[in-house]
Structure 1
């Protein structure tokens, strides 16, 4: 079972994500958080395989949230921004998806792709 946690300040977007996960086999959404501080605490405690993370949020943006963690899961940054910020490569974002492009099939493919990716040695 692949486990995921989502952190996004938009409650409607989190509801959409929950609906996507109802249709997935072998992939489970174990938590959703509007508050990035609470979400990061849950990530540290639960150690999910994948973190779905918004870029712009109150209190902490997505990059600040990632910088606060010593050990990071695979990260899919989901944002309304048109282009992936250059900082995403420095902080090890596994995938960047624009919110307008996201649908249940793309999300599932992306999760499977980054979890099954072999590290480059």
Structure 2
């Protein structure tokens, strides 16, 4: 049963023990016409009480939390709301889908990926609903992501990113002012960054298109840094470059 009185609106509850991760989801929710934020909580036990007092249609749920993890929370929830898992860890995906979650979003969560998940939730809740036109998923400037650095979630402005370098199991995000090391895969980062502004050019490199100073043969120049263009990614990169040139 839907908690919302409006058939074309989903009331949302966000549960995550990282306040900055909550902030990102709040920001994404604010951009979607058919979502309404009704509560946030960093404590899953308190969130369960909160839900019982004020039911929600859709819950954004972190998996790794103290006192009560996301899987235990879903067991207590007993399918009384749709759930979208938000996690920095791929290995919990199976647990999530065992509980019929709508989607499993890997942090850092791009707006484009977020929107696909909530669109699925809305169609499940109300198959006949006519969804409004999608907001601009890929603005040319602005925006940010959160990445995990040790025990903290760190905000990174998209406009500041020069390129991302793969370091085995870690990534090094090179910005105008600093270098940020985060434990995640290049694929996760590629999915989190808007494809009109960032492109994979090598198995170990993602670059910001607007930060490229020059391209010479199979090399990209960003400031004093020279980045190789891998043969697997070369055709796609030069196609993108030609579109920008036009």
Q: TM-score range by the shorter chain?
A: 0.7 to 0.9
- Pick from 10, 15, 33 the counterpart of residue 7 of structure 1: 15
- Pick from 34, 53, 61 the counterpart of residue 53 of structure 1: 61
Q: Report what 2:198 is aligned to.
A: none
Q: Report what 1:28 is aligned to.
A: 36
The answer as to 2:129 corresponding to 1:98 is: no
Measured against aligned partners, the alpha-carbon deviations of 1:31-83 in whole angstroms (never above 9, x if no partner) come to 11100111122222222111100000000000011111234211100100024
CA contact (8 A) 1:7 1:32 kept: yes
Structure 1 pair 71–44 and aligned structure 2 pair: CA distance change class (3 A): farther
Q: Report what 2:115 is aligned to.
A: 108
Please identify the structure whose Cα radius of gyration is greater: 2
Distance 2:78 2:37 in 1: 22
| TM-score when normalising by structure 1 | 0.85
Q: Report what 2:89 is aligned to.
A: 81
Distance 2:18 2:100 in 1: 24
Q: After the TM superposition, which of the residue ranges 57-66 and 40-49 deviates more from structure 2?
A: 40-49
Structure with higher strand content: 2
Distance 1:26 1:115 in 2: 8
Unaligned runs of 5+ in 1: none
CA contact (8 A) 2:63 2:92 kept: no
| TM-score when normalising by structure 2 | 0.44
* Number of residue-to-residue matches in the alignment: 118
Q: Which runs of 4+ in 1 moved over 4 A?
A: none
Alignment RMSD, CA only? Answer: 1.9
